Amino acid sequence: LVTAGNEGFSIGNDVLRNLVNYQKRCSQNFKTSKPYEFDDLAQAYRLFSLGLSGNPDEAAMNRLKMSGKLSWQGSMMLASAYCICGRKSVGEEIIASLSTSSDVGRIGGRTYRSPFRDKAIALEALSLCGNVAEAVRYAAEVCSEDGIWALSTQESAFAAKAFNALGKKVTGGKIDVTATNSKESSEQNGLIFNLIDPESGETRMTNNSSGPVYARVTSAAKIPAGTPVPARSENLGIDV
């Protein structure tokens, strides 16, 4: 809800305020006795969401960190929480203490999990902490996962969050491109559009940016009204 509000969607103030208050109560009442596997991940995500809303509960974050009962997934999520609360060094410290892959753990219990989702959690934590090289490695692993075209809702959401965080780290430079025979130029969401003069039918693009630029040329034509169009099958047929 916080992210949606930041992107311009209308979010009721009462809804968000009540949710924040509820999450605060849950974070303060959380017990580190860990009766269920991955309850620490739920708490870490709760603390992450509170930090995202501008209401960090650093006391609860510190209690969770010092409990010594964190799963790999919960540790990665807690590292993200510290990073968005301005304590990047603590997040880096947590990540440095972890192995490079998640613990398998028990499938089941009260908290959903999947290896794909776990890697997305790690990808976001690494991106937020500024470890871009390692984040890119995780991104490659996430993209090569089997079943990537049939993701659950939670897998899709965590992957989108993670790649959004990584994208902000690797595409921060301004794009500066010039194109010849351009009749019109516009920019939208980081993409530059150039309308090429159809009379010339060609253009030459120059990259003035500090990094690589990827170009795509799309052509379209509209036949003037009243112009006869000959029938062509192009080796296609239809039986009715």
Whole-angstrom Cα distance, residue 120 to residue 158?
A: 6
* Pick from 117, 129, 200: nearest CA to 160: 117
Look up the pTM and report it.
0.68
One-letter amino acid at 29 equals N
pLDDT in tens, 179-191: 888 877 777 666 7
* Pick from 106, 108, 88, 107: nearest CA to 96: 88
- Compute the mean pLDDT over every residue in the chain, rounded to the nearest whole number: 82
